[in-house]
Amino acid sequence: MMERYAVVTGATQGIGHAIATRLLSEGFHLGCCARTESDLRQVKAAWQRQAPQAKILALPADFEHQEAVFSFSKAIRESFPRVDVLVNNAGIFQPGSIAEEPAGQLEAMMRVNLFGAYDLTRELLPLMQAGSHIFNLCSVASLRAYPNGGAYSITKYALLGFSDNLRFELGPKGIRVTAICPGATWSRSWSESGLSRDRFMETEDVASVLWNAYSLSEKADLERIILRPTSGDV
């Protein structure tokens, strides 16, 4: 069987961690990044025990800085012969209304939530070919406004627009693009909310739908996936 290579950003916790773990379990080699080097060392050690045959490239990268995106992409290009799956998951969230949020909040989140995905995708496209698949982790915040969505929701709307334009351009080349729009999904950021874990989806739910979309025939592109907790948005 031909070796397969995946790149996942923001891979040490939450949805990104679940996706990276699933791809490793399916036999992929993995290139990943996150902001905290100690977290990367810890999860890489666990992953290497899980998948001892996998090549795992785990590098610190803060996508708020464009040079970090370029440094990470350069390492991928030098280490991997191609990219079969790219998961643009890295993101930051700060709540607030447009009228009241601090100056610069939109710019900071745009750099990570949109420009990071935009720049990394452009840098890695030369390693992609027919059959490759790009997943952009959008949000239900990409679909409608909600209280205190502010700048965050703007960035997620933009990421969904990026996904649609990218799909239009790459479809004729056989490269699929899927926007995943999850609602509230359990992670350590929700652990202090006071809400029961039963109120949330599990990160593995998102990883499972990503794998199902990738597993479709290369003649089919699942363009947009929307997931919400059974009892509705939080």
Location of structure tokens 């100056």 = 103
Catalytic residue among 5, 152, 157, 214: 152
CA distance 26 to 88: 19
Return the number of other C-beta atoms located less than 10 Å from residue 226's C-beta: 15
Q: Where are the alpha helices (DSSP H) in 51-104?
A: 66-79
Active site residue 146: no
- Of 50, 41, 55, 49, nearest in space to 11 by CA: 41
Q: How far is CA 130 from CA 116, 167, 215, in A?
A: 23, 13, 14
Tell me the sheet residues that pair with 217. none
N- to C-terminal Cα separation, the chain: 43
Strand residue runs (E) in the chain: 4-9, 28-34, 56-60, 85-88, 133-137, 176-182, 224-227
Backbone angles phi, psi at 84, to 5 degrees: -90, -35
Which residues have a catalytic role annotated? 152
